[in-house]
Structure 1
Amino acid sequence: MTIDILERNNVKILGNGTKPIVFAHGFGCDQDMWRYIVPNFESDYRVILFDYVGSGKSQLDHYDANKYNDLQGYAQDVLEIMDALELRNAIFVGHSVSSMIGLLASNRDSKYFERIVMLGPSPRYINDLPDYYGGFNRNEIDELLTMMQMNFIGWASYLAPIAMQNSERQDLTDELEKSFCSRDPHIARQFAEVTFLSDCRGDLPFAPVPSLILQCSDDSIAPIEVGNYLHAHLKDSTLQLMNAKGHYPQLSHPEETTALIKNYLNSN
């Protein structure tokens, strides 16, 4: 059976430019999370949006628990999308875990990538003290995963305000909670486990392309120590500290997010 990659991942292509820029959403989200950013790139770029299998309007019947039990399964899908669209030297903008998915994909086949923009990235969420601070103890992650299994709706209402971290924008917290709740609970929990238990630190030295690390000033999911670690271990990386707070600056601070991405792309 031939899989239609573009249908599987609900790929959308926008824009009037020729230079490809791929926007990859994070855990618990879908391509709609980029809606405030994308219009700013449509005049100069060929904009590619997609949903990971299990998210958004992807085809759920293609979800394979064995394949997606590792971030490499998602990286494989990224490469398949880029191959199907015959992309070369694309800009890859990854939010949260997608930063590492993009890194893994570029390590496997660099011809598709020119640069990677990492928005709120983390190579490892769990502390590995004293050498590495990821922001979470293992028992905190285990409790989060247990909560997802026992009370999925409760988990979503608990995590959304913590991750969004913009209390004056209740609409954004509500949107994130709704996005979390719209997922298949079993798929969402597996993606959460794969994300929060991942360790991509060993993959960093092999990064084949330059990267921009956009580090939010107060991010409960990816603290500043993580951004500094990435910058120290990713060759040819640029670290930019944002004024934005929270883990979703593309929603809460789209103007700043857009400006920093454009400044980076135009200055290199």
Structure 2
Amino acid sequence: MTPAATLATVERRNNVRVLGNPAGRPMVFAHGFGCSQEMWRLVAPAFAADYRVVLYDHTGEGGSDLSEYDPAKYDSLDGYADDILDIVAAYELEDVVFVGHSVSGMMGVLASLRAPESFGALILVSPSPRYINDGDYIGGFEKADIDGLLDSLDANYLGWSATMAPVIMGNPERPELSDELNAQFCATDPVVARQFARVTFLSDNRDDLADVTTPALVLQCADDLIAPVTVGQYVHAEIAGSTLVMLPATGHVPHLSAPDQVITAIQEYLA
């Protein structure tokens, strides 16, 4: 933790909320791109009786302090990993269960590599170390696909959000879920969203996985257009000793579309 990152600074910057059992094992929840900690509202309460639940917003998103957003710092996932370590240090957390959705899974991986003594488990929900196909690696997208996606986001962020939310959610029969995701996207500052999207979709953390020593659970949805089954299998294969659980859920956001499946998988793993 940097000297300036006091408890008050971290709490304000990342809109940190701590609830649940003060004496319980800490469980930190990290949301994905363009969202906020509210995305965990159907999952986090299930752990409040036994765990010290820590919720936060990535800098520049949700209820975080937008004035703290530094384009240089957050030009890679390392800046977000620094924030996780700031939270862990400021709140004096030990044996942390880190629950990260999508790109936040890789933030948790990076944080655990820097301070493995602070983490007891990584719960990676729909993670992807690289979204772009590369030789034998199938990430789900060709480079041209990602370039087009980013160009579309740059040109019309609100239009991109309305188009992509149903694709990401993957539950067309439940449009209210896509509407909620779109509302989350639309609440994010477009400048932050553009940079975060580039960092998310252009990052490559494949080489980091082999160095992970923290026990890890990979939760993979059966039908996910953003992080297909091959990606979950890859993450599981590369993190030695990890556990892979295939959820029958569809889409990329199972903690909204199938929270009971996510809760059960985490509880059984930690038990």
TM-score tier (shorter)? over 0.9
Q: Residue 76 of structure 1 is aligned with which of 64, 74, 82? A: 82
Deviations 1:168-207 (A, max 9, x none): 1111100001111111111001000000000001101110
Match of 2:187 among 182, 187, 193: 182
CA distance in 1, matches of 2:30, 2:116: 17
Q: Does 1:140 pair with 2:155? A: no
Q: Which residue of 2 aligns with 1:104?
A: 110
User: How far off its partner does 1:236 sit?
Assistant: 1.3
Deviation string 1:15-58 (CA, Å, 9 cap, x unpaired) is: 02521000000101110000000111010000000000011000
TM-score by length of 1: 0.97
Distance in 2 separating the partners of 1:2 and 1:121: 31
Please give the residue correspondences for 1:127-206 in structure 2 after superposition, counting only pairs within 5 Å: 127-129=133-135, 131-206=136-211
Pick aligned residue for 1:238 from 243, 249, 254? 243
Please list, as runs of the form range in 1=range in 2, the aligned pairs for 1:30-109 lying within 5 A after superposition: 30-109=36-115
1:220 to 225, 231, 236: 225
Show the counterpart of 1:122: 128
Given residue 200 of structure 1, which amino acid in structure 2 is its aligned partner? N
- State the one-letter code of the partner of 2:52: R
> Distance in 2 between the 1:30 and 1:207 partners?
26
Q: Is the 8 A contact 1:216 1:249 kept in 2?
A: yes
Q: CA deviation at 1:2?
A: 3.6
Q: Residue 78 of structure 1: CA displacement?
A: 0.3
Matched residue type, 1:115: A
Q: Which amino acid aligns with 1:63?
A: Y
TM-score calculated relative to the size of structure 2 = 0.96
Amino acid at match of 1:202: D
Q: Distance in 2 between matches of 1:18 and 1:151?
A: 45
**Any idea what SS the aligned residue of 1:183 has?**
coil
The one-letter amino acid paired with 1:199 is D
| Structure 2, gaps ≥5 residues long | none
> Structure 2 CA distance, aligned partners of 1:252 and 1:211?
23
The one-character-per-residue Cα deviations of 1:102-137 (angstroms, maximum 9, x if unpaired) are 0000001112100000000001000002x2000001
Percent identity, please: 51
For structure 1, the residue ranges without an aligned partner over 5 or more in a row are none
Q: Deviations over 1:205-225 (max 9, x none)?
A: 110201000000000110000
**What one-letter code is carried by the residue in structure 2 that aligns with 1:169?**
R
**Amino acid corresponding to residue 32 of structure 2 in structure 1:** G
Take 1:37 and 1:229, find their aligned partners in 2: how far apart are those partners?
Answer: 26
CA distance in 1, matches of 2:19, 2:86: 19
Which of 189, 209, 213 pairs up with 1:208? 213
Report SS of the residue matched to 1:222: coil
SS in 2 for 1:58: coil
Cα-Cα RMSD: 0.9
Runs of 4+ in structure 1 off by over 6 angstroms are none
Cα deviation code 1:65-97 (max 9, x no counterpart): 000000000000000010000001110000000
1:5 to 10, 17, 33: 10
Q: 1:91, 1:75 → 2: CA distance?
A: 15
Contact 1:72–1:101 under 8 Å retained in 2: yes
Residue-pair matches, total: 265
Counterpart of 1:142, as a letter, is D
